[in-house]
Amino acid sequence: MIDKNTAARLVAEGKVKHDAKTNTVTVDLGVLGKQMIGVSATDIADAEIAIIAESDQLERDIAERKANIEFETAEIERLSKELVDKKAKSDAIKNKPKSKVK
């Protein structure tokens, strides 16, 4: 019997084929050829569910990070505009002709 982590990895890599009639799983072991390993369909189903849950969580994490990036980008744009406005005012003040007091 293989552990659930190994089953999850094998499912993710597409190296697992389940035969419902015999309730066995064929695992592609590469150079060793195909071997029958006694792993239950429940373990494979659990592994598939875990992969789906991880995928869903990753999608949520990515969406949250994208939202944060969009917010930060908008904030940078706002601050950049504010800087340009203040710089223009500063330059106008610096370049203003100075009146001489007599």
Domain that holds residue 14: 4-93
Based on the structure, what is the number of domains in the chain?
Answer: 1
**Within-domain flag for 23:** yes
Q: What is the pLDDT of residues 13-71, one digit of tens each?
A: 777 766 667 766 666 655 334 444 566 677 777 878 888 888 899 999 999 999 999 99
Residue 102 is assigned to a structural domain of this protein:
no
pLDDT band for 87, please (50, 70, 90 cuts).
very high
Q: Establish if 74 belongs to a structural domain.
A: yes
Identify whether 40 is part of a domain: yes
Asked if the structure places residue 99 within a domain, the reply is no
Residue 38 lies in a domain: yes
The shares of helix, strand and coil residues in the chain, as percent rounded to the nearest 5, are: 65, 15, 20
Average pLDDT over residues 71-81: 97
pLDDT, tens only, 88-102: 999 988 888 777 666
**Residue 36 domain flag:** yes
In a domain, 43, yes or no: yes
Identify which of 56, 44, 49, 38 has the alpha carbon closest to the alpha carbon of residue 15.
Answer: 44
Better pLDDT: 12 or 65: 65
